[in-house]
Amino acid sequence: MSDVKPVIVWFRQDLRLFDNPAFSAAVRSGAPVMPVYVLDDDSAGEWAMGAASRWWLHRSLESLHKDLGGHLRLFQGKADDVIPRLADRVSAGGIYWNRCYEPWRIARDTIIKKALIEDGRDAQSFNGSLLFEPPNIAKADGTPYKVFTPFYRKGCLASGPPPREVVDRPADFRLYEHDAGTELEGLGLLPDIRWYGEMENTWSPGEHGAQARLDAFLEQGLQDYRSGRNRPDKEAVSRLSPHLHFGEISPHQIWHDAKALAGDSSIADNIDHFLSELGWREFSYYLLYHWPELPRTNLQNKFDRFPWRDDTNALERWQRGLTGYPIVDAGMRELWRTGYMHNRVRMIVGSFLVKNLLLHWHHGEDWFWDTLADADLANNSASWQWIAGCGADAAPYFRIFNPVTQGQKFDPQGAYVRRYVPELAKLPTRHLHNPWETPADVLADAGVKLDEHYPAPIVDLKASRERALAAFRSLKDAQ
């Protein structure tokens, strides 16, 4: 063991070596680097990672450990206990990390930095996760933005500091030898029952998988992004969200790699649309930073009076993909099987839950938290408030997605539905999105018997739409 004081690099949502400011700064210090990860479920509380995210984290840590030559040290417990104690144990000269923006992390990290500095240690944090950090973006009067377009176009692009340049992976680095920590299996991230088989076949967690995913999108998906991004039956979206959430790739690299293609006028509009989607991610974090109650509290407090229903059976049928509406059921089954759902379909299933079923958006938020590999507190909370109509820049209350017309428009050949709802695979395309209206002889020819092979609709679209509109009107009447 070396007598030279090491610098601890505390990995969090930045599980990569390329464009990792904290890791690069530690290497530049000249001290041996001790890379660590702390699974801190205690501090996270109700926002401890769900099952799909824990599977992804296991694989991502496995990849990072390999890239670090087997030197990633793993710990479990409260980070405000683990980090100072470890720093004392190895006589660390410094502790570096990249900032996170969840309220519980901000509170905890503030305590940790204060304790380290008071102990005479160099504690530094860096921006490795956001293009535009929330404290740097505000309206002219100093108040935070509540609407996306002015936030992104004016606050970020026109007035904010530009996204920083990427930082190369250090060519050489010296790692600190120490036997502290536990084995990866000791974190208990994988369940005893191996339910994640299709996720294993769908994803490649880790920095190398993230880079391959970005390269494939820029080469094959970007040219059709603006029109194709709403089509779940196409490979026109980046599918980078879980890689971004775990920091296996940085938004700065994605931003600059996409910008580098802007000289091609044929895809300039697609690039602008793609970058604006990164902007929506930034906006979600901005909202969470300025309104830390976002995950549980309606940003529009009039929704505190909203007459949500309590229907356990309806909720379970939505969760299991048994609503009787094929595009909804396909989305919920894709989520369960792969830990992912196409964004257009997320809006459809979300609208169906909170408007057609009139069930609280918290139910959707909690289910997504457990089943999404890219479960992200900022994005998940802001998106559910958006679809429910109670958040910032929210969808208007009267925007109720019709799952039949949405399916017909965005899955016109039925490839997506047939993949995830195979019991309807033999139905003619013109009947695929509304099987309850299909002639009996056509159903019979396709081998479909409603309420036996596939459920009849759980609610009537017209009646449930009117019920939702009446519920929204009641908020106005109560003012």
Cα 305 to Cα 471: distance, rounded to the nearest angstrom: 10
pLDDT in tens, 87-121: 999 999 999 999 999 999 999 999 999 999 999 99
Options 133, 277, 423, 436, the catalytic residue: 277
pLDDT in tens, 270-326: 999 999 999 999 999 999 999 999 999 999 999 999 999 999 999 999 999 999 999
Judge whether 55 counts as a catalytic residue: no
Q: Strand 94-98 relative to strand 73-76: parallel, antiparallel, unpaired?
A: unpaired
Check: CATH 1.25.40.80 for 131-166+207-290? yes
Judge whether 280 counts as a catalytic residue: yes
Q: How long is the chain? A: 479
Options 384, 386, 402, 434, the catalytic residue: 384
Judge whether 277 counts as a catalytic residue: yes
pLDDT in tens, 314-328: 999 999 999 999 999
Judge whether 361 counts as a catalytic residue: yes
> Could you tell me the CA-to-CA distances from 332 to 207, 237, 336, 412, 431 in Å, in that order?
28, 18, 6, 19, 20
Q: Is residue 99 a contact partner of residue 128, using CB atoms and an 8 Å limit?
A: yes
Options 361, 367, 369, 386, the catalytic residue: 361
Q: Is residue 279 a contact partner of residue 238, using CB atoms and an 8 Å limit?
A: no
Options 230, 343, 423, 436, the catalytic residue: 343
Judge whether 343 counts as a catalytic residue: yes
This prediction has a pTM of: 0.96
Domain ranges for the chain: 7-129, 131-166+207-290, 301-477
CA nearest to 105, candidates 184, 171, 48: 48
pLDDT in tens, 6-29: 999 999 999 999 999 999 999 999
| Domain 301-477: CATH superfamily, name plus number | DNA Cyclobutane Dipyrimidine Photolyase, subunit A, domain 3 (1.10.579.10)
Options 62, 280, 423, 436, the catalytic residue: 280
Across the range 414-434, mean pLDDT stands at: 98
Pick the CATH number of 7-129 from 3.40.30.10, 3.20.20.140, 3.30.230.70, 3.40.50.620: 3.40.50.620
Q: In what order do the strands lie in the sheet with 122-126?
A: 73-76, 33-39, 7-11, 94-98, 122-126
